Structure 1
Amino acid sequence: MSLSIRLSRGGSKKRPYYRIVVADARSPRDGKYLEKIGTYNPLLAKDSAERIQLDADRAKHWLGVGAQPTDRVARFLDAAGIKERAARSNPKKGEPGDKAKERAEERAEKLAAANPVPEPAADTVEA
């Protein structure tokens, strides 16, 4: 049985509240779980102490048993100093799409055609 440490959603519509749970990876998101090890309330301020509550001892236990945290829970565990999370890099994320690149090239061509850059004249320097 593969275990995952993940979020289980609760709360009403547009008012999310999550439990941090250890569950079988095959069980549904809000379904049966083995143990609740914390809570996460995204509606609270980021610097609030009640935003993320986590039982560190139980989290370490389940990680030692082989449970795999999801990306979001891995961030929480890294912030709590329980498990180091490898930094991810996606250099293409900030890159504009093909259409945006084409539009930028067209704009640059129009701008260059409208405002030709004068070439520097060859001045002779007298000595």
Structure 2
Amino acid sequence: MKKFISVIVIIILILSYGIYRAFFDMNNLPEGRLISEVHSPNGEYTIKAYISDGDATTSYAVRGELIFNTIKKNPKNIYWNYREDNAKIEWIDNDTVIINGHKLNVPNERFDFRRK
């Protein structure tokens, strides 16, 4: 009986992880087409905005990618919003940016419409 329960728990964990990776992980977002690129006031960061065309089945979406200019670190997705076709990016200071009305403190905060 314990073996059976263990197998069921493992199957549930694997399925849960698969659903998370497929639908909620910001690292698996579509690349899209570059529409905007804005540097932070001190040049430490760059935000690149991409538009993702959902074809006939879904609407456009905007993805914001944070680029680290002064340290060697991989780019990080920090913004993902559905039903948008442009990106208004405004730096408030060296670590605070507003993307389409959503205020983020970089590099730690992110906005994902799926997690509202």
TM over 0.5: no
Q: Give the structure with the larger strand fraction.
A: 2
Normalised by the length of structure 1, the TM-score is 0.26
* Higher CA-based Rg: 1
Q: Give the structure with the larger helix fraction.
A: 1
Normalised by the length of structure 2, the TM-score is 0.28
